[in-house]
Amino acid sequence: MVDTDVQVVTHGLKHTMINQVKHTAGTMLAQTDWYVTRKAERSMDIPVDVIDQRTAVREECDRLEVAIANVSTVEELIAVMNNQDWKG
């Protein structure tokens, strides 16, 4: 064995699932990001249904992140992941 100062970090299932949830939310939000850019560049309003959809995606991502962080068994994690409710 070689003595080294390099720290190795192994991420677990919770970390992996939270990253997956964030990726899903990011992918869904990316579809309507152009509305946000248009608003910033040209002061054109974002349609209310788009705002509602984006809010729902962010809220589901937040809900799932908390739920994943709070599980203590693999079975609980599976239940959380099986009960995703993306309204995008």
- What's the pLDDT score for residue 3? 76
pLDDT in tens, the chain (88 residues): 677 788 766 779 999 999 999 999 999 999 999 999 999 999 999 999 999 999 999 999 999 999 999 999 999 999 999 999 998 5
- What's the pLDDT score for residue 18? 97
> Using a CB cutoff of 8 Å and minimum separation of 24, what contacts does 20-27 make?
21/61, 21/64, 21/65, 21/68, 21/84, 22/61, 22/65, 24/61, 24/84, 24/86, 25/57, 25/58, 25/60, 25/61
Domain extents for the chain?
Answer: 13-82
- What's the pLDDT score for residue 24? 97
- What's the pLDDT score for residue 9? 66
